[in-house]
Structure formats: C-alpha cells, structure tokens
Chains A and B, each alone.
Chain A
Amino acid sequence: EVQLVQSGAEVKKPGESLRISCKVSGYRFSRYWIGWVRQMPGKGLEWMGIIFPGDSDTRYGPSFEGHVSMSVDKSSDTTFLQWNNLKESDTAIYYCARHEEFEGVMAFDYWGQGTLVTVSS
C-alpha cells in the first residue's frame, strides 16, 4: 500500500528555520517525482515544486524559488521541505504528493496527510 506520512504540526517565529518531512512507503522511492503543495488558511492549492529522488533534480514554482528548498534522503525514503527565514505569510498546510505519469500526463495520485505550519511572533 502506497503511503506518504508527513511530520507533525509546527509553530515557529518569523526568521526561524524549519524542515518538514514526508516519508513514503509501498513503492520504489527513487522512481517517482514527489511534489509539495501549499494551502494557506481558507485558500486554494498552490504548486510549490517537485523533486526526483533518483537524482535530486528539482523544479520550483516561481513564487517559491529562493524561499524554500527541497531535498531527499534515499536511505530513509524521505523528502524534505525547508525554510531558512520563515515569514508569517508561510503559515499554511503543506502537502507532499507522489507525481505519477498516466500515459504521459502527470498527476498527484497519492497525498500525505498535510503538515500545518504556523509562523507567528
């Protein structure tokens, strides 16, 4: 069974650093892109970026490039999303999701449960 299990909720102050995780199981980690999606309070879904665990190739959305970084640890089948300088506007739920290819069309087919990040002074 494919599962993506994310780390727990976090409360941080502006300017602090944070790394959240997404551990996968039930499939070959290195073969599928993993994406991150942001959902700010009461808002819609935003595509942040994707990473390919096989070689750590990464694509960031323009709104997120330079503010977050994605990485993987192949030894633990885990993907990370990291901030070095949190802002209050980073308060959101963050989802990881597996990026599957269906006859050439990519889609997020399995999702983590979400990690709530609250940034407040």
Chain B
Amino acid sequence: DILLTQSPSSLSASVGDGVTISCRPSQNISIYFNWYQQKVMKAPKLLIHGAVNLQSGVPSRFSGSGTGTDFTLTITNLQPEDFATYYCQQTYSTPGTFGQGTKVEVK
C-alpha cells in the first residue's frame, strides 16, 4: 500500500489567516491525488482532484499544488466554515489510501 504522510496533524489559525497542509506519498504518484474536507459528524467533501483542480462549487480560496511525492493544500483568507479536518488521498493504485488527516482549529 502507498503510505501518505500528512503534516501537521493539527494547526490553530484565525479567520483571515492563510494555512498550508502538506502530504507526502511513500512513492511517486504523479497527479493521482485528491484533497477532502470533513466537518464534524458530516461526510467528507471533495475539494481538489488531480492535485490542482478545484472541484465544482469549491471556493477559490482553496488551492492545491504538487506532483509526484510532495503535495500541498493552501487555504487563503480562512473563513469560519473552513474549520474542519482535511484529508489527502492517492488513487494511483488500490487501495486508494488516505492521509491521517489535519485538523484546522480556531486559535
């Protein structure tokens, strides 16, 4: 299985801040990579697919970058509704493993 290492596991931020979350796969996965947001007691929501492509309806303050073995999710101008847990996922090979998650909390 491909292991995804997310960092940090949690971070504290304020409304209006910018945050970045990193995800590093254990092998080269090209752009077969996605980001999800999960709010408490809710189903995950697809934010970004193919490493850089914003899913329809997702605000432009979310952006993704990277390829191969190093990926980043950036949120600019953090909004109250953005406090949640974020997961990366690879779909280069099955099983389509997820990272362990990054919880974005209110400072």
Contacts and interface: CB of A to CB of B under 8 A. Distances in A.
Interface class of chain A by DSSP: strand
Interface residues of B, number: 27
Contact of A44 (B46, B49, B87): B87
Given A95-B44, A105-B31, A111-B44, A44 B89 contact: no
A113 B41 CA distance: 9
A105 B49 contact: yes
Given A45-B101, A109-B55, A59 B94 contact: yes
B97 A105 contact: no
A53 interface: no
Interface of B: 1, 31-34, 36, 38, 43-46, 49-51, 53, 55, 87, 89, 91, 94-101
Contact of A112 (B34, B43, B96, B100): B43
Contacts of A112: 43
A105 B34 contact: yes
B1 to A, nearest CB: 7
Given A103-B53, A105-B33, A108-B44, 20 more contacts: A37-B44, A44-B87, A44-B99, A44-B100, A45-B36, A45-B44, A45-B98, A45-B101, A47-B94, A47-B95, A61-B1, A61-B94, A62-B95, A104-B50, A105-B49, A105-B51, A106-B91, A108-B89, A109-B46, A113-B43
